[in-house]
Amino acid sequence: MKRSDMMKAINLISIAFGAIAGTYARYLLNLSLLYTGYPIGTVIENLLGSFILGLLTGFFVWKKPKEWIKLGLGVGVCGGFTTYSTFAGDVISLTQHHLFWGAIYVIVSLVGGILLALAGYLCGEAAGGNLVKVHEVK
């Protein structure tokens, strides 16, 4: 097996295991919030996932991980934890019954997701930059 084929296999395995972890975390979060009757679990998952992906992206500007780590955490864990399809289904369901709450759901999810991704990016970039500075001092 060629080295490039081996790296592709490692990347895919990393994504698969990350997706399992992210999906399981999403499932547990949703189970714990079913009693609310509102899709708050999906909002939390997508907002938290946006922050974490931003954090990783900002951190990886300074700290260059192996590709399989980057893919496993970003594509795998964050991809498995967040869910666009459930968000879309929730929007349709909410707007059919409560247009106002459906609109609030969309605004909070989209604007909040973008703002939290930016906040995560800035935090990750600051953390990564500080790590580089610590290593430069030594």
The response to whether 74 counts as a known ligand-binding position is no
Structural domain boundaries enclosing 87: 3-137
Residues 17/77, Cβ–Cβ less than 8 Å = no
The response to whether 86 counts as a known ligand-binding position is no
Write the CA distances from 48 to 61, 78, 125, 128, integer angstroms.
Answer: 20, 9, 17, 20
**Tens of pLDDT along 115-128?**
999 999 999 999 98
Question: Which amino acid, one-letter code, is at 127?
Answer: A
Alpha helices by DSSP H, listed for the chain, are 3-33, 40-62, 67-71, 79-81, 84-97, 99-137
Checking if the pLDDT of 130 tops 90, the result is no
**Tens of pLDDT along 69-101?**
999 999 999 999 999 999 999 999 999 999 999
**Mean confidence (pLDDT) of the chain:** 93
Residues 97/40, Cβ–Cβ less than 8 Å = no
Residue 36, Cβ density class (10 Å: 0-12 exposed, 13-18 middle, ≥19 buried): exposed
The domain tally of the chain equals 1
- pTM of the predicted protein model: 0.89
